[in-house]
Amino acid sequence: MKTPITDLLGIEKPIVLPGMSWISVPELVAAVSNAGGLGILATGPLTQEQTRQAIAKIRTLTDKPFGVGITLLMPGAKENAKVALAEQVPVINFSLGKGDWIVEGVKRYGGKTIATVVTEKHALAAQKSGADALLVTGHEAAAHGGEVTSLCLVPNIVELVDIPVIAAGGFSDGKGLLAALALGADAVAMGSRLATSTQSPVHQNVKQAVVDKKVADTIYSKNFDGLYARVMKTPMAEKATRRPMNPIVAVFKSFKASKMVDMPLWKLLLGLLAQFDKIRMLTLFGAATEKLEAATIRGDLEQGVQFIGQSQGMIRDIEPVEVLIDRIMTEAKAEHARVSKLLAD
């Protein structure tokens, strides 16, 4: 299938693995790229050296295009972006911040940039900055989706911009891919679907929980990590989203997160004094990593919390990435034939 996104990125199929912390690791990234899509490495929890090693690992596993995700709000993001630029990664996907300097750096070696956006305003700003494409994240998505559903957000942004759009939030099968194309998008990101594949490092307990859960079994709240985020509905998630974390507790817990990305303690404390609101959000986000790791890595949903999209209710099996992507493409073509017949009649 050829679309403006496949042509732009040099991939065969318009399916993207977004950068999900602790999930979009080299093995899963390479599996998606080898299957014809675009895998994007998550660098949020990585140090500069770990990012460099992960990029090198991906290159041993695939010779296909791949990307690196940079969440600019996160500690260490700027440093990881510089590593990706130095390594001349084919695609850099940035979010939650101004990525003009990343765009400029990528253009110097002929790579491509994708900006993740959740509003029309941010979409226009990203296009103006020179981004090559947009990843438009609707309300249904796992983690930090927007306030507007994909059904409304995607076509609105498509009408406003002149660059290709990847739709994210609620897409997990061939029907979803065809629907996204009908909305004007040029590809889909399927985080929850690909996170529930055999190559995904997500713990088997969580994968099985995804298969067992329904579309309504999620919670959308800003009380978990300081930003509006969607998580799997469990007793622990309900408790964690009931009220905002105590700021003092958040600061204490965030020390672990800052250490994880080699952020000096003095820098975190200085930031708390100089940019309290921004750093407070970072501390809340950092404090949440403990529960995210517990679920994603250890499969402990009694103590942990798992980011997941509403599409979990449409995920009914755990299969290899190549099987999933081939099936999605086959379903999309079959659904296209069905709809074409309806329109012809």
Tell me the C-alpha to C-alpha distance, in Å, between residue 24 and each of 29, 41, 42, 201, 237.
6, 5, 5, 8, 22
Half-sphere exposure of residue 48: CA atoms within 13 angstroms, side-chain side: 11
Give the span between the Cα atoms of 76 and 339, in whole angstroms. 47
- What pLDDT score does 227 carry? 83
| For the chain, the helix, strand and coil percentages under 3-state DSSP, each to the nearest 5 | 50, 15, 35
Contact 24, 205 (CB under 8 A): no
Going from the N-terminus, what domains does the chain have, and what CATH number goes with each? 9-202 (3.20.20.70), 214-296 (no CATH)
Give the span between the Cα atoms of 82 and 167, in whole angstroms. 27
Backbone angles phi, psi at 33, to 5 degrees: -65, -40
What's this model's pTM, rounded to 2 decimal places?
0.91
Residue the block writes with tokens 């986000």: 285
pLDDT tens string, the chain, 345 residues long: the values are: 999 999 999 999 999 999 999 999 999 999 999 999 999 999 998 999 999 999 999 999 999 999 999 999 887 899 999 999 999 999 999 999 999 999 999 999 999 999 999 999 999 999 999 999 999 999 999 999 999 999 999 999 999 999 999 999 999 999 999 999 999 999 999 999 999 999 999 999 999 999 999 999 999 998 888 789 999 999 999 999 998 766 555 555 555 555 554 555 545 555 544 444 555 556 666 668 889 999 999 999 999 999 999 999 999 999 999 999 999 999 999 999 999 999 997
